[in-house]
Protein backbone atom coordinates (compact mmCIF):
# COMPACT_ATOMS: atom_id res chain seq x y z
CA UNK A 1 0.00 0.00 0.00
CA UNK A 2 2.81 2.45 0.90
CA UNK A 3 6.02 2.55 -1.05
CA UNK A 4 8.23 3.07 2.02
CA UNK A 5 8.06 3.55 5.77
CA UNK A 6 8.56 7.33 5.48
CA UNK A 7 5.39 7.74 3.43
CA UNK A 8 3.44 5.59 5.88
CA UNK A 9 4.64 7.60 8.91
CA UNK A 10 3.84 10.92 7.22
CA UNK A 11 0.33 9.62 6.51
CA UNK A 12 -0.42 8.64 10.11
CA UNK A 13 1.49 11.34 11.99
CA UNK A 14 1.23 14.21 9.55
CA UNK A 15 -2.29 15.36 10.64
CA UNK A 16 -1.26 15.13 14.31
CA UNK A 17 1.66 17.46 13.71
CA UNK A 18 -0.71 19.90 11.97
CA UNK A 19 -3.19 19.68 14.88
CA UNK A 20 -0.42 20.42 17.36
CA UNK A 21 0.53 23.46 15.30
CA UNK A 22 -3.07 24.72 15.33
CA UNK A 23 -3.27 24.29 19.10
CA UNK A 24 -0.07 26.28 19.54
CA UNK A 25 -1.40 29.04 17.28
CA UNK A 26 -4.70 29.11 19.25
CA UNK A 27 -2.79 29.37 22.55
CA UNK A 28 -0.73 32.31 21.30
CA UNK A 29 -3.92 33.94 19.99
CA UNK A 30 -5.66 33.44 23.37
CA UNK A 31 -2.72 35.00 25.23
CA UNK A 32 -2.79 37.92 22.83
CA UNK A 33 -6.52 38.46 23.43
CA UNK A 34 -5.96 38.42 27.18
CA UNK A 35 -3.50 41.28 26.77
CA UNK A 36 -5.99 43.53 24.93
CA UNK A 37 -6.34 46.82 26.88
CA UNK A 38 -9.75 47.61 28.36
CA UNK A 39 -11.58 50.54 29.92
CA UNK A 40 -13.96 49.98 32.83
CA UNK A 41 -16.61 52.60 33.68
CA UNK A 42 -18.41 53.04 36.98
CA UNK A 43 -20.52 55.81 38.52
CA UNK A 44 -20.70 56.58 42.24
CA UNK A 45 -23.70 58.75 43.17
CA UNK A 46 -23.51 60.92 46.29
CA UNK A 47 -27.06 59.86 47.24
CA UNK A 48 -29.14 56.85 46.22
CA UNK A 49 -31.98 59.22 45.34
CA UNK A 50 -32.23 62.83 44.21
CA UNK A 51 -35.07 65.29 44.74
CA UNK A 52 -36.54 67.27 41.87
CA UNK A 53 -35.12 70.79 41.85
CA UNK A 54 -31.78 69.58 43.28
CA UNK A 55 -28.56 68.43 41.60
CA UNK A 56 -27.64 64.90 40.58
CA UNK A 57 -24.11 64.72 41.97
CA UNK A 58 -21.45 62.05 41.93
CA UNK A 59 -18.28 61.01 40.19
CA UNK A 60 -17.37 58.90 37.17
CA UNK A 61 -14.64 56.33 37.80
CA UNK A 62 -12.50 55.17 34.84
CA UNK A 63 -10.15 52.18 35.24
CA UNK A 64 -7.68 52.02 32.35
CA UNK A 65 -5.30 49.09 31.70
CA UNK A 66 -3.69 50.53 28.56
CA UNK A 67 -0.30 52.18 28.38
CA UNK A 68 -1.91 55.40 27.22
CA UNK A 69 -5.26 56.47 25.81
CA UNK A 70 -6.27 59.63 24.02
CA UNK A 71 -9.81 60.71 24.90
CA UNK A 72 -11.62 62.40 22.05
CA UNK A 73 -15.11 62.45 23.63
CA UNK A 74 -16.22 62.07 27.26
CA UNK A 75 -19.89 62.92 27.83
CA UNK A 76 -22.65 62.34 30.36
CA UNK A 77 -26.27 62.15 29.20
CA UNK A 78 -29.02 62.33 31.84
CA UNK A 79 -32.41 61.16 30.59
CA UNK A 80 -35.83 60.96 32.19
CA UNK A 81 -38.74 59.42 30.32
CA UNK A 82 -42.31 58.46 31.24
CA UNK A 83 -44.31 55.84 29.35
CA UNK A 84 -47.85 54.50 29.65
CA UNK A 85 -49.53 51.86 27.52
CA UNK A 86 -52.05 49.03 27.42
CA UNK A 87 -54.46 47.24 25.09
CA UNK A 88 -58.21 47.59 25.58
CA UNK A 89 -59.40 43.99 25.71
CA UNK A 90 -62.91 44.96 24.58
CA UNK A 91 -61.99 47.03 21.51
CA UNK A 92 -58.41 45.80 20.84
CA UNK A 93 -57.31 49.42 20.67
CA UNK A 94 -53.71 50.18 21.58
CA UNK A 95 -53.11 53.09 23.95
CA UNK A 96 -49.63 54.49 24.47
CA UNK A 97 -48.01 57.77 25.47
CA UNK A 98 -44.40 58.81 26.02
CA UNK A 99 -43.14 61.99 27.63
CA UNK A 100 -39.62 63.35 28.25
CA UNK A 101 -38.83 65.01 31.59
CA UNK A 102 -35.04 65.28 31.50
CA UNK A 103 -32.56 65.47 28.63
CA UNK A 104 -29.20 66.98 29.57
CA UNK A 105 -25.77 66.34 28.04
CA UNK A 106 -22.53 67.61 29.57
CA UNK A 107 -18.90 67.06 28.60
CA UNK A 108 -16.14 66.07 31.03
CA UNK A 109 -13.30 66.03 28.48
CA UNK A 110 -12.88 69.77 28.19
CA UNK A 111 -11.78 71.33 24.92
CA UNK A 112 -9.75 69.16 22.56
CA UNK A 113 -8.27 65.72 23.17
CA UNK A 114 -6.63 64.64 26.41
CA UNK A 115 -4.28 61.78 27.32
CA UNK A 116 -4.88 59.66 30.41
CA UNK A 117 -2.38 57.26 31.91
CA UNK A 118 -3.09 53.72 33.16
CA UNK A 119 -4.84 53.43 36.50
CA UNK A 120 -7.97 54.83 38.14
CA UNK A 121 -9.29 58.28 37.30
CA UNK A 122 -12.25 60.06 38.92
CA UNK A 123 -14.31 62.90 37.46
CA UNK A 124 -16.90 64.73 39.62
CA UNK A 125 -20.13 65.99 38.05
CA UNK A 126 -23.31 67.90 38.89
CA UNK A 127 -26.45 67.86 36.73
CA UNK A 128 -29.53 69.94 37.63
CA UNK A 129 -32.80 68.02 37.90
CA UNK A 130 -35.83 70.17 36.91
CA UNK A 131 -38.35 70.86 39.67
CA UNK A 132 -41.21 69.48 37.55
CA UNK A 133 -39.66 66.00 37.21
CA UNK A 134 -42.05 63.34 38.58
CA UNK A 135 -41.07 60.55 40.94
CA UNK A 136 -39.51 57.39 39.54
CA UNK A 137 -42.17 54.73 39.15
CA UNK A 138 -42.49 51.20 37.78
CA UNK A 139 -45.71 49.27 37.14
CA UNK A 140 -47.56 47.10 34.66
CA UNK A 141 -49.20 49.94 32.71
CA UNK A 142 -46.57 52.64 32.94
CA UNK A 143 -43.16 53.68 34.16
CA UNK A 144 -41.05 56.76 34.86
CA UNK A 145 -37.34 55.99 34.54
CA UNK A 146 -34.18 58.05 34.86
CA UNK A 147 -30.73 57.05 33.66
CA UNK A 148 -27.22 58.43 33.28
CA UNK A 149 -25.25 57.31 30.22
CA UNK A 150 -21.45 57.64 30.22
CA UNK A 151 -19.86 57.68 26.76
CA UNK A 152 -16.06 57.57 26.30
CA UNK A 153 -14.51 57.64 22.82
CA UNK A 154 -10.74 57.24 22.49
CA UNK A 155 -8.15 56.54 19.80
CA UNK A 156 -8.81 52.79 20.17
CA UNK A 157 -11.96 50.68 20.07
CA UNK A 158 -10.65 48.61 22.99
CA UNK A 159 -10.64 51.68 25.27
CA UNK A 160 -13.90 53.18 23.99
CA UNK A 161 -17.01 52.31 26.00
CA UNK A 162 -20.61 53.34 26.73
CA UNK A 163 -22.50 52.37 29.86
CA UNK A 164 -25.86 53.35 31.38
CA UNK A 165 -26.65 53.66 35.10
CA UNK A 166 -30.17 54.15 36.53
CA UNK A 167 -30.90 56.67 39.27
CA UNK A 168 -34.05 57.53 41.22
CA UNK A 169 -35.88 60.85 41.47
CA UNK A 170 -38.40 61.92 44.12
CA UNK A 171 -40.70 64.87 43.54
CA UNK A 172 -40.02 67.34 46.33
CA UNK A 173 -43.25 68.35 48.06
CA UNK A 174 -44.22 70.13 51.29
CA UNK A 175 -47.31 70.50 53.42
CA UNK A 176 -47.30 74.15 52.33
CA UNK A 177 -48.03 73.10 48.73
CA UNK A 178 -51.58 72.25 49.80
CA UNK A 179 -54.38 74.21 51.57
CA UNK A 180 -54.00 74.65 55.32
CA UNK A 181 -57.03 72.43 55.82
CA UNK A 182 -54.88 69.34 55.17
CA UNK A 183 -53.37 69.84 58.64
CA UNK A 184 -56.73 69.70 60.42
CA UNK A 185 -58.62 66.63 61.67
CA UNK A 186 -60.95 64.99 59.21
CA UNK A 187 -63.49 62.21 59.27
CA UNK A 188 -65.86 60.51 56.88
CA UNK A 189 -69.10 58.62 57.47
CA UNK A 190 -71.02 56.01 55.53
CA UNK A 191 -74.03 53.78 55.97
CA UNK A 192 -74.95 50.56 54.19
CA UNK A 193 -78.58 49.46 54.20
CA UNK A 194 -78.90 45.69 53.84
CA UNK A 195 -82.47 45.64 52.51
CA UNK A 196 -83.27 42.69 50.25
CA UNK A 197 -86.63 42.41 48.45
CA UNK A 198 -88.17 45.04 50.77
CA UNK A 199 -87.11 43.01 53.80
CA UNK A 200 -85.01 45.13 56.18
CA UNK A 201 -82.00 43.21 57.48
CA UNK A 202 -80.51 46.21 59.26
CA UNK A 203 -77.84 48.79 58.55
CA UNK A 204 -74.10 49.14 59.12
CA UNK A 205 -72.76 52.63 59.92
CA UNK A 206 -69.04 53.41 59.76
CA UNK A 207 -66.97 56.45 60.66
CA UNK A 208 -63.20 56.78 60.25
CA UNK A 209 -61.14 59.78 61.29
CA UNK A 210 -57.51 60.95 61.20
CA UNK A 211 -55.69 63.79 62.99
CA UNK A 212 -54.77 65.39 59.65
CA UNK A 213 -54.71 64.62 55.95
CA UNK A 214 -51.06 65.37 55.06
CA UNK A 215 -48.20 63.07 56.11
CA UNK A 216 -44.51 62.65 55.30
CA UNK A 217 -42.80 59.59 53.93
CA UNK A 218 -41.91 57.31 56.83
CA UNK A 219 -44.62 58.68 59.14
CA UNK A 220 -47.41 56.69 60.76
CA UNK A 221 -51.11 57.45 60.35
CA UNK A 222 -53.25 56.97 63.46
CA UNK A 223 -56.78 56.03 62.45
CA UNK A 224 -59.90 55.82 64.63
CA UNK A 225 -62.69 53.65 63.24
CA UNK A 226 -66.23 53.42 64.65
CA UNK A 227 -68.56 50.65 63.45
CA UNK A 228 -72.24 50.27 64.33
CA UNK A 229 -73.54 46.88 63.24
CA UNK A 230 -77.37 46.88 63.38
CA UNK A 231 -77.73 43.63 61.47
CA UNK A 232 -78.28 40.10 62.73
CA UNK A 233 -75.00 38.86 61.28
CA UNK A 234 -71.43 39.51 62.32
CA UNK A 235 -69.11 41.63 60.20
CA UNK A 236 -66.04 39.56 59.36
CA UNK A 237 -62.52 40.41 58.18
CA UNK A 238 -62.66 44.02 59.31
CA UNK A 239 -59.48 45.79 58.25
CA UNK A 240 -57.87 49.15 57.58
CA UNK A 241 -55.81 49.64 54.44
CA UNK A 242 -53.46 52.32 53.15
CA UNK A 243 -54.16 52.23 49.41
CA UNK A 244 -52.17 53.74 46.55
CA UNK A 245 -54.34 54.70 43.58
CA UNK A 246 -52.50 55.11 40.28
CA UNK A 247 -54.27 56.76 37.35
CA UNK A 248 -52.66 56.23 33.94
CA UNK A 249 -53.48 58.30 30.88
CA UNK A 250 -52.60 57.38 27.30
CA UNK A 251 -53.76 58.18 23.77
CA UNK A 252 -55.02 55.65 21.26
CA UNK A 253 -52.48 54.93 18.55
CA UNK A 254 -54.65 55.90 15.57
CA UNK A 255 -57.59 58.02 16.82
CA UNK A 256 -55.43 59.99 19.33
CA UNK A 257 -58.21 59.86 21.91
CA UNK A 258 -57.14 59.82 25.57
CA UNK A 259 -58.24 57.08 27.93
CA UNK A 260 -57.55 56.58 31.63
CA UNK A 261 -56.93 53.43 33.63
CA UNK A 262 -57.06 53.06 37.42
CA UNK A 263 -54.91 50.63 39.39
CA UNK A 264 -55.02 50.11 43.17
CA UNK A 265 -52.30 48.72 45.40
CA UNK A 266 -52.29 47.94 49.12
CA UNK A 267 -49.33 49.64 50.81
CA UNK A 268 -50.12 48.78 54.44
CA UNK A 269 -52.86 46.74 56.12
CA UNK A 270 -54.14 46.39 59.70
CA UNK A 271 -56.45 43.53 60.61
CA UNK A 272 -59.20 44.46 63.12
CA UNK A 273 -61.10 41.20 63.53
CA UNK A 274 -64.92 41.05 63.50
CA UNK A 275 -67.92 42.99 64.82
CA UNK A 276 -70.69 41.01 66.49
CA UNK A 277 -74.38 41.47 65.55
CA UNK A 278 -76.24 44.37 67.18
CA UNK A 279 -72.94 45.79 68.44
CA UNK A 280 -71.17 49.15 68.37
CA UNK A 281 -67.38 49.12 68.55
CA UNK A 282 -64.57 51.67 68.27
CA UNK A 283 -61.11 50.72 66.99
CA UNK A 284 -58.72 53.32 68.41
CA UNK A 285 -55.09 54.16 67.64
CA UNK A 286 -54.87 51.89 64.61
CA UNK A 287 -51.48 52.60 63.02
CA UNK A 288 -50.67 52.50 59.31
CA UNK A 289 -47.05 53.23 58.36
CA UNK A 290 -46.06 55.00 55.14
CA UNK A 291 -42.89 53.38 53.69
CA UNK A 292 -39.82 55.59 53.32
CA UNK A 293 -39.53 54.80 49.60
CA UNK A 294 -43.21 55.12 48.70
CA UNK A 295 -43.91 57.57 45.86
CA UNK A 296 -45.39 60.87 47.09
CA UNK A 297 -48.80 62.13 46.01
CA UNK A 298 -48.89 63.59 42.51
CA UNK A 299 -52.01 65.15 41.01
CA UNK A 300 -52.61 66.35 37.47
CA UNK A 301 -51.85 70.08 37.38
CA UNK A 302 -53.73 72.86 35.66
CA UNK A 303 -51.27 72.81 32.76
CA UNK A 304 -50.20 69.71 30.88
CA UNK A 305 -51.77 66.69 32.64
CA UNK A 306 -49.39 64.07 34.02
CA UNK A 307 -49.63 60.65 32.43
CA UNK A 308 -49.20 58.92 35.82
CA UNK A 309 -51.09 60.44 38.78
CA UNK A 310 -50.68 59.08 42.32
CA UNK A 311 -53.07 59.44 45.26
CA UNK A 312 -53.62 57.73 48.63
CA UNK A 313 -56.67 56.75 50.69
CA UNK A 314 -57.25 55.14 54.07
CA UNK A 315 -59.91 52.49 53.53
CA UNK A 316 -62.02 50.47 55.98
CA UNK A 317 -63.44 47.19 54.69
CA UNK A 318 -65.58 44.43 56.16
CA UNK A 319 -67.46 41.40 54.86
CA UNK A 320 -70.10 41.50 53.55
CA UNK A 321 -69.86 44.58 51.32
CA UNK A 322 -68.81 47.34 53.72
CA UNK A 323 -66.28 49.87 52.44
CA UNK A 324 -65.44 53.44 53.52
CA UNK A 325 -62.43 55.49 52.52
CA UNK A 326 -60.76 58.79 53.44
CA UNK A 327 -58.22 60.57 51.18
CA UNK A 328 -54.76 61.41 52.55
CA UNK A 329 -51.78 63.24 51.07
CA UNK A 330 -48.20 61.95 51.19
CA UNK A 331 -45.29 64.41 50.81
CA UNK A 332 -41.51 64.07 50.89
CA UNK A 333 -41.08 66.91 53.41
CA UNK A 334 -43.09 68.53 56.17
CA UNK A 335 -43.53 72.26 56.49
CA UNK A 336 -40.99 74.47 54.71
CA UNK A 337 -40.00 76.31 57.90
CA UNK A 338 -38.95 73.05 59.56
CA UNK A 339 -35.23 72.16 59.41
CA UNK A 340 -34.29 69.48 56.92
CA UNK A 341 -32.07 66.74 58.34
CA UNK A 342 -29.05 65.15 56.73
CA UNK A 343 -31.21 62.49 55.10
CA UNK A 344 -32.94 65.23 53.11
CA UNK A 345 -36.31 65.02 54.87
CA UNK A 346 -38.03 67.29 57.36
CA UNK A 347 -40.07 65.89 60.20
CA UNK A 348 -43.82 65.99 59.83
CA UNK A 349 -46.21 67.29 62.47
CA UNK A 350 -46.50 64.31 64.78
CA UNK A 351 -49.12 65.81 67.06
CA UNK A 352 -51.39 67.70 64.72
CA UNK A 353 -51.23 71.39 63.86
CA UNK A 354 -48.87 73.55 65.88
Residues contacting 27, CB < 8 A, separation 6+: none
Asked if residue 102 and residue 78 are part of one domain, the reply reads yes
| Model confidence, pTM | 0.79
Q: Is residue 257 part of a domain?
A: yes
Q: How many domains does the chain have?
A: 2
Quote the pLDDT of residue 306.
87
User: Tens digit of pLDDT for each residue in 333-344?
Assistant: 988 876 544 344
What is the arithmetic mean of pLDDT over 193-221? 85
- What's the rounded Cα separation, in Å, for the pair 182 and 212? 6
User: Tens digit of pLDDT for each residue in 283-324?
Assistant: 988 999 999 999 999 987 645 678 999 999 999 999 988 999
Supply angle C-alpha 294, 299, 300, rounded to 5. Answer: 140
Asked if residue 131 and residue 199 are part of one domain, the reply reads no
Asked if residue 87 and residue 228 are part of one domain, the reply reads no
C-alpha torsion angle, residues 177, 181, 184, 188 (rounded to 10): -120
Q: In terms of residue numbers, what domain contains 138?
A: 39-170
For residue 270, the domain's CATH number is 2.60.40.640
Asked if residue 90 and residue 137 are part of one domain, the reply reads yes
* Lowest-confidence segment of 2-16, 169-183, 239-253 by average pLDDT: 2-16
- Closest of 23, 220, 229, 41 to residue 121, by C-alpha: 41
Quote the pLDDT of residue 112.
62
What is the arithmetic mean of pLDDT over 210-223? 94
Asked if residue 144 and residue 108 are part of one domain, the reply reads yes
User: Tens digit of pLDDT for each residue in 142-153?
Assistant: 999 999 999 999
Mean pLDDT of the chain: 84
User: Tens digit of pLDDT for each residue in 36-75?
Assistant: 557 899 999 998 789 999 999 999 999 988 667 888 899 9
Domain boundary among 170, 185, 205: 170
Q: Is residue 313 part of a domain?
A: yes
Asked if residue 83 and residue 162 are part of one domain, the reply reads yes
- Burial of 312 from C-beta contacts in 10 A (0-12 / 13-18 / 19+): buried
Q: Is residue 350 part of a domain?
A: no
Amino acid sequence: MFQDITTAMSYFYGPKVALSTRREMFFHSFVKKQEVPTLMINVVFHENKVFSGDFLAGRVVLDLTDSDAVIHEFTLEARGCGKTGWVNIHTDKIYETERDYLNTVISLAGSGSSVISPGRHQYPFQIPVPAECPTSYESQFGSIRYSLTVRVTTNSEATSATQTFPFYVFTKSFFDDFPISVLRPMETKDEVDFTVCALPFGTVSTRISVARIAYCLGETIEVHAFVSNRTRKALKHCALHLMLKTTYEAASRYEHVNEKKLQEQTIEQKELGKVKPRTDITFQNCVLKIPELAPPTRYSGSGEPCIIALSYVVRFTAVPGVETELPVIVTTHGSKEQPIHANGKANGLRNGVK
